Structure formats: structure tokens, C-alpha cells
Amino acid sequence: MTSNLLTTVALLLVASTLSAGVKPDLFWNPDDLKPGMKGTGQTVMKGTKIESFDVEILGVLKNTAPGRDMVIARLSGLGLEKTGVIAGMSGSPVTIDGKLVGAVAYAWQFGKEPIAGITPFSQMRSFVEAFEQRERAADKQMRKLDLRDPLKIGGRQFSTVAVSSSFDAPQQVSSGAAADELWMTPLRTPVSATGFSSHSLELFRDQFGKNGLFPVMGGATPAKIAEEERNVALQPGGAMAMAMITGDFDMSGIGTVTHIDGDRVYGWGHPNMGLGACDFPMQTGYIHTVYPRQTVSFKMGSPLKTVGVVNADVSTCIAGTLGRKPDMIPVRLNVRREVGDTRIFNVQIVRQRGLLQSLMFACLTNAIDMEGELPDEMTADIEVTIELEGRAPVVLRDTFSGSSIAAGRAPSALYTPIAQMIAGIQNNPCGLIRIKSIDCKTVIRSGRTSAEIEAVELDADTLAPGETLKATVHLRPWKSNSVRQRIELKLPVDLPEGSYTLTISDDLTRARNDLRDRPDINLASTVDGFLKGLQTFTEGKRTTLAARIPLKSSGVAVGDQPLPNLSPGMVQLLGQSRKTGTQLLGSSLSARQPTEWVIVGTDTITFTVAPRRSKSAP
């Protein structure tokens, strides 16, 4: 609680200090605005042409959030009386007597008049300079504020205004139970998705809807228009796009420029996702049309050209710098079926923490969706190469088959582990690992090549140290007769006598179990240790049959440093000590046997190790 209070106080101090430096002859102080004052706003309704609409100030809400005020206004003109305030107008600048008030940013979702909330520009700029990062807890907060002077809207009078930082109106409002109240919610950001399937688009809606992003099926601007508008410059009232993915697939949020000061650009009047400091392509945009809806209408647009970088995403706006180049991850996606040409897609994805996993998964999914309907019974070969700066690449090769990748389940089963691994590299807690590029190859084959483990038989259930354990694994390939697969594992000559458990599984399961036994790499504190653990994981193959025998702990790990082969007493002493920061170090014996199938399931069997009995004298 104390840290949150200190953060709020610091932001208020920064905001007040920087606001004091704003020239009063250029920007309105919210306290100087009075009901009835009239001005104009600017936005693009079609193409790149900036048009004006009328604005009437209705009142000012103080402290809608720490350090933030909101100007309530009625908009008119440009058909807003019918559409209401439009998503995509976010950032539309409002001026009175030549002085900038701020940016259109909030709307009354179920109101019959275009009532908007305007974010004062002085507060937009101050929060940007502080690179304030919106706290997620604030998303659920809403404040009901009393008005100094009641508002008269549509013949009705409102004495309070409820302001929500969530992008959805509260349930009681949407259901009509409290429709007599005035609720202001942030305008959603239309996200133009070009080259994405409807399935991939649904994934984005599920993952980003709570952040106010509203993905819509888009399309690239026609070549003729793109050529005509390629040199259009960002200017107040013009369309401004903020990209997450560019290239053969494109995903960009669409809003409006509020103000430009030299090479500094301010827009939207509300956050994109409240990330604070960030690095996204800043683009000019083209508006195709306005799509009217009962709640909040939205603009359908497309990005035109990258002209800089958005490097601030704060609670009052987004802001960027012209002339800079965004730092993105180049990704190459290669998809091939048994019959047909190989399809190659090249995209660039933002490096933003918290987004990379979702964006990477959506691109991978979309690439395979482009192949059309997948067969119910299929096999997929995956090869992923992640090039790292200054280090050896991470390479994953594996084969998938079985019920988990049948038809519609395939994308999630195939690509969720890959997206998680890529995000894990970028967000690892050990140190900076910079990804240079990602290359993913997928080959789709008809027919299921999985085989389920049915049973395990040992040639002998009692062995002496140094002997070789021999087992027969009964596998049942899909829609075929059972087959036998032999696997052998040589026991150490110093293996203690006792009872042991043999686990038969696929090799990936074996690798995961090995990682659990190795806290020195599974919970590594250095980049080298982290990458060593990742290599252990990528070595596991689903098509390889694995035999694994876990052994009793014979060592400990102190951080990244393994201390194996300790005496039982020392292991017990160190393992029970919390002060030393040690953890038990597991070990195992294992053997692997490549097969022609994707191994499914596991089975265990016990055996005994006992000294070999000497033969009696005749």
C-alpha cells in the first residue's frame, strides 16, 4: 500500500511540475473552462481528409483518477448525432479560441447524444514525460463524481458522472438497470487485422478485449490509394496507427493525432494498454469508412507508412517520436503440405514484454490457417530456429500426431509450446537474451502416426549391478495391430541394491522429468544455466521411446552450482538447511530408442537390483 501511495504522490508531483511549464497561451487549463463554451474538433471520417466537428463544453470533472481531470462535452456535425462518439476518434483534438483543450477519449456508450470525455492535453504531456505505467488494479476501479453544476442533456438533468477505467460499461448499465446515469468509458481502439483468418482474429479478441483493443477484419489499402497517400504526414486530427505486427500479416491500432510539438507526437487521449515505456511502429493511416453500431461505432482503417516510433503508452495518451526506426523481431514462417507449394510468410513482431507470446502464437496459427481445413488425422513436423545475439541458436525439432492435433485443435497443440518458449527466452529472469530472428517450418502430412504404449515386459525382474536391463514395449499404432519395440539400459556396476521403478514414455516426457531433478538448471540464476535447461528441453523428441530409472538423491545444488556424489549424511544435512539455499539434486539412468511413431502415454514397472549369487562348489 505504501509503495502505491508513494507512486501516486510522485506522479502527481511530476504532473504538476510539468503542467506548470505548459504555455498558457497554447493550452487550456481545465479550471478555466466553463459550461457553454464552444469550439471545434478535428478528425478523419474517410481517407486522409481532416474534417471539423462542433464541440460544446458541458462541465469539468476533477480528479477522475490521481492527477487527472476530464472535460465533458457534447459533439455535433459529421453525422455524430446518428453514430455517437466513434471508436477511432480517440485523440481527436478539440480547440477553443485557437487554444488546445485536449483529446476526445471517452464516450457515453448507451446515450442517445454524442457526449464525450476529453483528456486535457496538459495532463497528456505531463504523464508522457513521466512514462507513467498504468496499474492493472485501476482497470477495475470506477469513480462516481459529483458535478458542481448539474448537466442538462436531452431534457434530463445529471448531478453525478461515473467514470470507469474499464472499457466495458458496468453490467447494470448495459442491461438498462441504471440507464438513467451518465457513465463515461474509454473509447476502444479499432485494431485493423490484415491477412488474418477469422479464427486467428477470434484469438486476438479473446486475449486483448479486456485491454480495450477491438480487432476487426481489415485489408491493405489499395495500391493506387497507397501510392497517392504514401507521403501524407501526421498532423493533428489525422489518422495515427500503432502497429504490433507488420509484413505479410499486419495488425495496427487506429486512432487520431492530438498534437505535434517538433518531432514529438501525442494521440488517442487514453492508453493503448498502459505499458509505460514501449517501442511500437508509429504509422500514418487511411480511414475506409465508419461502421455504425448501437453501442459505440468504430472506424475501419489501414496503416499506410511507418514514420516513427511510439515510445510512451500511459494512462492519458500514447506518444511517439518521428524519424526513429522501431526495433522488431523478424519472423519467417514456412508451411508445406504433402501436395502443394510451400507458402512462406515474413512478418515483424514488436518485442514488447507480455505481448510477444500472444502475437507469436497468432502469427503461427494464422500461417497454418491459410492452408484451409486441416485433416482430422494428421501428422506435423516442426522445426524452429531462434537466432540469439552473441550465443548459439536454440533449435527445436519435433513431430506431433494423435488426437491432440486433430483438425481445429492442431494450432494450439502445435504452437502454444513454441510461443511460450520464445516468450520465456525474452522474459527470462536471469539476464538479457536478445532474439535476432525466428524461423519456423511446419510440414503437414495426412494420416496419424501415433502409437500408444500398452504394456512393458522385462526379460528379468531381478538384475545385478553392471547388468543390462532389457525390456519389450508393446506399442499399438493408430488403427493397426500391436508391435513390439526393444529397449535396453545398462546398469552401473556400483548401483546400490534395492527396488527400482522403470518408466517408459516418449523422450520429451523424459526430458521434463530430468529438468525437475535438476534445480541448478531448471531454476537457474544465470543466462548460461537458463540456456542449458532450455537445451535439455529441446533435446526431447516425441518420436523417441525413452526408458528412465530415477535414483536416490546423491547431491545438492547451490544456486547454479551442482554438487553431486556426496555422502548420504551430507546430502541430508545440506538438504535440510534453509540457510544455505541448497536443493536436492536428483539423478536418473536413461536410454532412448528412435521409432517411426509419435509415442503416446507412459507405463511403469518395478524391478530389483541384488548382488549376483556365487555358484556353490560341487
How confident is the model over 55-70, as pLDDT tens digits?
Answer: 999 988 888 877 789 9
What mean pLDDT value characterizes the chain? 84
Claim to verify: residue 172 and residue 229 sit in the same structural domain: no
| C-alpha to C-alpha distance for 590 and 550, rounded to whole angstroms | 9
Q: Is the pLDDT of residue 9 over 70?
A: no
Verify that 439 and 473 share a domain, yes or no.
no
136 shares a domain with 235: no
Least confident range of 133-142, 285-294, 395-404, 572-581: 133-142
Same domain assignment for residues 475 and 573 = yes
pLDDT value at 500 more than 50: yes
Domain finish residue from 393, 422, 446: 446
Query: What is the C-alpha to C-alpha distance for residues 290 and 298, in angstroms, rounded to an integer?
Result: 6
Quick one: 35 and 171 in the same domain? yes
Question: Is 371 in a helix, a strand, or coil?
Answer: coil
**Model pLDDT for residues 171-223, shown as the tens digit of each residue:** 544 444 445 678 888 888 888 888 888 777 777 776 665 666 777 777 667 77
Among 118-132, 163-177, 187-201, 224-238, where is mean pLDDT lowest? 163-177
Per-residue pLDDT at 180: 60
Taking residues 521-537, what's their average pLDDT? 84
Q: Give the pLDDT band (50/70/90) at residue 132.
A: low
Instruction: Please tell me whether residues 178 and 286 are part of one structural domain.
Output: no
Within a domain: residue 614?
no
**Which range, 132-141, 153-162, 178-187, 474-483, has the best average confidence (pLDDT)?**
474-483
Higher pLDDT, 319 or 129: 319
pLDDT value for 584: 66
Do residues 489 and 391 share a domain? no
Count of C-beta atoms within a 10 Å radius of residue 288: 17
* CA 204 – CA 362 distance, rounded (Å): 7
Query: Which pLDDT does position 287 carry in this prediction?
Result: 92
Query: Is pLDDT above 80 for 27?
Result: yes
Question: Left (φ > 0), alpha (ψ -120 to 50) or beta: where does 529 sit?
Answer: alpha
Q: Report the C-alpha gap between 48 and 126 in whole angstroms.
A: 29
165: in domain = yes
Residue 295 pLDDT exceeds 70: no
The answer to whether residues 511 and 558 touch, using CB atoms and an 8 Å cutoff, is no
Task: Work out whether the CA dihedral 247, 252, 255, 259 comes out positive or negative.
Answer: negative
In this structure, the answer to whether residues 181 and 223 fall within a common structural domain is no
Q: What is the pLDDT of residue 152?
A: 79
In a domain? residue 78: yes
Q: Are residues 233 and 178 in the same domain?
A: no
> How many folded domains does the chain comprise?
4
512-to-357, 518, 546 alpha-carbon distances in Å: 21, 10, 12
H/E/C letters for each residue in 394-433? EEEEEEEECHHHCHHHHHHHHHHHHHHHHHHHHCCCCCCC
pLDDT score recorded for residue 202 = 76
The per-residue DSSP string of 458-484 comes to ES-SEE-TT-EEEEEEEEEETTS--EE
**Cβ–Cβ < 8 Å for 68, 123:** yes
Q: What is the full DSSP assignment across 38-65?
A: EEEEEEESSBT-EEEEEEEEEEEEEEEE
pLDDT for 26:
85
Q: Are 167 and 175 in contact (CB under 8 A)?
A: no
Question: What is the reported pLDDT for 585?
Answer: 66
Residue 226 pLDDT more than 70? yes
Helix, strand and coil content of the chain, in percent to the nearest 5, comes to 20, 45, 30
Query: Which three cell numbers, joined as nine digits, stand for 238?
Result: 489525422
pLDDT at 389: 96
Residue 355 has pLDDT above 90, yes or no: no
d(CA 301, CA 354): 26
Give the pLDDT band of residue 42 (cuts 50, 70, 90): very high
Residue 587: per-residue pLDDT: 82
Residue 315's pLDDT band (cuts 50, 70, 90): confident
The values of phi and psi at residue 427, to 5°, are -100, 15
In a domain, 242, yes or no: yes
Q: Is residue 615 part of a domain?
A: no
Provide the pLDDT confidence category of residue 569 given band limits of 50, 70 and 90.
Answer: low
Chain Cα centroid distance, residue 247: 18
Q: Residue 560: how many CA atoms within 13 Å on its side-chain side? A: 11
Beta bridge partners of 547: 504, 591
Q: Which helix (H) or strand (E) segment is 451 a member of?
A: strand 450-458
Q: What is the pLDDT of residue 157?
A: 82
pLDDT band at 493 (very low <50, low <70, confident <90, very high): very high
Of 204-208, 246-250, 280-284, 588-592, which range is least confident?
A: 204-208
Is 618 inside any structural domain? no
Q: What is the pLDDT of residue 279?
A: 94
Q: What is the DSSP letter of 375?
A: P
Co-location of 168 and 218 in the same domain: no
Residue-wise pLDDT for 383-442, tens only, equals: 999 999 999 999 999 999 988 887 677 888 889 889 999 999 999 988 999 999 999 999
At residue 575, the pLDDT reads 58
- The contacts of residue 454 (CB under 8 Å, 6+ apart) are 474, 475, 476, 482, 603
Q: What is the pLDDT of residue 218?
A: 72
Q: How many CB atoms lie within 10 A of CB 420?
A: 13
On whether both 322 and 342 belong to a single domain, the answer is no
Q: Do 257 and 91 form a contact (C-beta atoms < 8 A)?
A: yes
In this predicted structure, what is the pLDDT of residue 138? Answer: 43
Asked, for residue 52, whether it belongs to a domain, the answer is yes
| CATH number for the domain harbouring residue 125 | 2.40.10.10
Can you tell me the distance from the alpha carbon of 463 to that of 438, in angstroms, rounded to the nearest whole number? 48
Taking alpha carbons only, the member of 491, 492, 517, 489 closest to residue 504 is: 489
Among residues 28, 41, 127, the alpha carbon closest in space to that of 77 is found at 41
Are the CB atoms for 438 and 384 separated by under 8 Å?
yes
Q: Which residues are within 8 A (CB) of 251 and not within 5 positions of it... i.e. 6 or more apart?
A: 191, 192, 193, 194, 196, 204, 215, 243, 244, 245, 359, 362
Q: For residue 334, give the DSSP letter.
A: E
- Percent residues over pLDDT 70 in the chain: 83
The single residue listed with the C-alpha cell 500479416 is 249
pLDDT of res. 10: 42
Which of 291, 326, 361 is the endpoint of a domain?
326
- CA–CA gap between residue 338 and residue 355 (Å, rounded): 33
Residue 616 falls inside a structural domain: no
Confidence label for 148 from pLDDT (cuts 50, 70 and 90): confident
Beta bridge partners of 440: 333, 384
The number of residues making up the chain comes to 618
Domain range spanning residue 401? Answer: 329-446
Instruction: Work out whether the CA dihedral 42, 44, 50, 54 comes out positive or negative.
Output: negative
| Contact assessment for residue 441 and residue 589, using Cβ atoms and an 8 Å cutoff | no
pLDDT tops 90 at residue 468: yes
Last residue of a domain, one of 446, 462, 496: 446
Can you give the CATH number for the domain in which 215 is found?
A: 2.40.10
Work out the number of other CB atoms within 10 angstroms of the CB of residue 584: 17
Rounded distance, CA 357 to CA 364, Å? 11
Residue 564 pLDDT grade (very low, low, confident, very high; cuts 50, 70, 90): low
Q: Any idea what the CATH number is for the domain that residue 350 is in?
A: 3.10.20
Amino acid at 57: I
Segment 260-272, tens digit of pLDDT: 999 999 999 988 8
161 confidence band (pLDDT: 50, 70, 90): confident
One domain, residues 261 and 349: no
Alpha-carbon gap, residue 332 to 150, rounded angstroms: 58
- Report the pLDDT value the prediction gives residue 17, as an integer from 0 to 100: 38
Burial classification of residue 190, based on how many CB atoms lie within 10 Å of its CB (0-12 exposed, 13-18 middle, 19 or more buried): buried
Report the pLDDT value the prediction gives residue 192, as an integer from 0 to 100. Answer: 87
Q: Residue 54's pLDDT is what?
A: 97
